[in-house]
Structures are given as C-alpha cells and as structure tokens.
C-alpha cells in the first residue's frame, strides 16, 4: 500500500466494564503504550481547515491523517471541508455528522510531503524529501501537543484503543484498517457492531482528543474548524 492504509474508526466512551466486555467477546490485550503527539499547521490553519492532520508521534514518526483520495487518486488540489466525516463532503451538507470516520493515514515522507504540497497549492522543493524540511519550508507551526496512555485490544481484524490523554480526557475507539475504498462499507459495519456490543448507542457521537484539546486550549482554532465544517461541535460526554 504505497499511499498508506485507510482507517475506519468510531469513538466511544469506555465505562468501568469495558475491558470485561472486551474479554467476554474474546478480545485479547495487545499492549499498552504511552506517546506524545505534536500537531502542525500553517499559521492560517489551512491544513486542518481542509481536514488534514499532520503529526509527529514521538517514537513512531511523522503521520498525516487526511480524507482518502477518490479512485484515480491524483486530485491534490485544495479540498472542500470534509464535514468531520473524513472525506464525505456532499453527505455532510445534508445529514448529521456520522459517528464513524474514514481517513487515510500516510507515513511515507514522499506521500506526506506530496499531499501537503497539494493541499497548500505549492510545488515540492528538492530539500523537502524528508518531512522536517517540508515543515520548515512550508512555515508549519506546532499548534497542539499532548500525551496519551493507551491500552489496545485486538478482536479479529478490529482494534480497540482505550486512551487517557494528559489534559484530562479519556476516549476509546474501535478501528479497522483496510487497503481500498471498496472495503470501507463492510469495515464500517463491523466497527459499528462492536461499538454497540461495547455498550455505546448507535446515535451518540463522541469527540476525539483533538476536538476536546482545541475546545479547551485553542478556542479560536476550534471555532474556525466548526465554521469550516471539519469538527462537529459535540459536547463532551458526561
Ligand atoms: C482531529 C482529527 C484527527 C487527528 C486525531 O486523530 P484521532 O483518531 O482522533 O487521534 P488518535 O490519537 O486516536 O489517532 P490514532 O492513533 O487512532 O491514529 S484525524 C481526523 N480528525 C477529525 C475528527 C473528526 N472530525 N471527528 C472525529 C470523531 N474524530 C476526528
């Protein structure tokens, strides 16, 4: 998969019985980890307003989460907002935001820099063969930094992450990784089925760490993403 895998994921709120439910369903603890994420954008927020999330995950490296390209894949021009659904802009205009998201996760420096340049409408420079060079050349600045403690479970092809962020927010997610857009609908069904089995009702959207971080620590950035239709403005779960 030269352009990275597609992640289909749905957040939920874990309760005191979530790990027991996972065990009862046959899930296996895959591991625990701690990491820090540093997120980057232009000073005028052109990446995140286009639903592109560039981060340095310490210990893992550079990653870009962005809406999957349509089949054919060459459209790297600036994109309309994704309505918080990870690349389903036309649906977002009429329907409530979905509880699940679909993003491509790019990890190869070439793919990351190519996509960043496409969104920002600039030609890549030769010195940008590694992400830090492009970050400097494009004038990207850190806008968020937080740590996460994570416990991960595996159940069949699904993964469940139970996250505790260091700014005092806990959130969980069910995730499937697929290789192609055609595999997304079936993965989505599996993800939502497990989310229900873990006790989360089908309609409740649960905000991710970034949404809550921005709301608390970067309110102007948060408001800009609400206006752009990239974040949905969900209240934090009780
Ligand atoms: C905010 C955001 C993105 C960056 C953070 O991605 P997220 O999956 O929330 O973080 P994390 O640490 O769980 O990443 P993982 O380890 O699973 O790769 S990517 C997309 N968004 C926007 C977004 C949205 N609009 N709605 C929801 C529910 N989540 C994220």
Please report the pLDDT score of residue 94 as a whole number. 54
Please report the pLDDT score of residue 84 as a whole number. 47
| Separation of CA 218 from chain center | 18
Q: Where are the domains of the chain?
A: 5-228
Using alpha carbons only, what angle is made at residue 216 by residues 211 and 219, rounded to the nearest 5 degrees? 80
Cα 177 to ligand 1 centre (Å): 14
DSSP class of 139: T
Fold of 5-228: Hypothetical Protein Pfu-838710-001 (2.40.320)
The per-residue pLDDT string of the chain (238 residues; one tens digit each, 9 = 90 and over) reads 445 689 999 999 999 999 999 999 999 999 999 999 999 999 999 999 999 999 999 989 999 999 998 766 554 444 444 444 454 333 444 566 789 999 999 999 999 999 999 999 999 999 999 999 999 999 999 999 999 999 999 999 999 999 999 999 999 999 999 999 999 999 999 999 999 999 998 889 999 999 999 999 999 999 999 999 999 987 777 7
Token digits of residue 58: 């310490």
Please report the pLDDT score of residue 202 as a whole number. 85
Cα 207 to ligand 1 centre (Å): 9
Please report the pLDDT score of residue 1 as a whole number. 46
CA-230 nearest atom, ligand 1: 25
CA-173 nearest atom, ligand 1: 13
Query: Using a 6 Å CB cutoff, which residues line ligand 1?
Result: 11, 53, 65, 84, 101, 103, 173, 208-210, 230-231
Atom 24 (ligand 1): residue with closest C-alpha?
84
């Amino acid at each position: 998969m030269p352009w990275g895998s597609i992640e289909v994921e749905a957040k939920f709120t874990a309760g005191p019985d979530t790990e027991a439910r996972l065990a009862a369903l046959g899930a296996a603890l895959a591991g625990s980890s701690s990491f820090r994420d540093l997120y980057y954008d232009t000073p005028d927020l052109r990446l995140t307003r286009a639903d592109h999330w560039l981060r340095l995950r310490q210990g893992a490296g550079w990653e870009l989460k962005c809406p999957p390209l349509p089949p054919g894949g060459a459209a790297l021009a600036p994109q309309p907002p994704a309505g918080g659904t990870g690349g389903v802009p036309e649906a977002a205009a009429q329907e409530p935001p979905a509880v699940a998201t679909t993003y491509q996760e790019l990890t190869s420096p070439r793919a990351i820099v190519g996509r960043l340049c496409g969104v920002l409408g600039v030609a890549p420079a030769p010195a940008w063969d590694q992400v830090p060079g492009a970050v400097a050349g494009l004038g990207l600045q850190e806008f968020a930094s937080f740590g996460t403690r994570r416990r991960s479970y595996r159940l069949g092809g699904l993964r469940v992450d139970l996250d505790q962020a260091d700014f005092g927010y806990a959130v969980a997610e069910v995730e499937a990784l697929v290789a192609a857009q055609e595999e997304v609908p079936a993965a989505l069904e599996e993800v939502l089925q497990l989310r229900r089995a873990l006790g989360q009702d089908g309609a409740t959207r649960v905000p991710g760490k970034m949404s809550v971080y921005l709301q608390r620590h970067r309110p102007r950035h948060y408001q800009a993403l609400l206006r752009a239709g990239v974040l949905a403005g969900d209240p934090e779960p009780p």
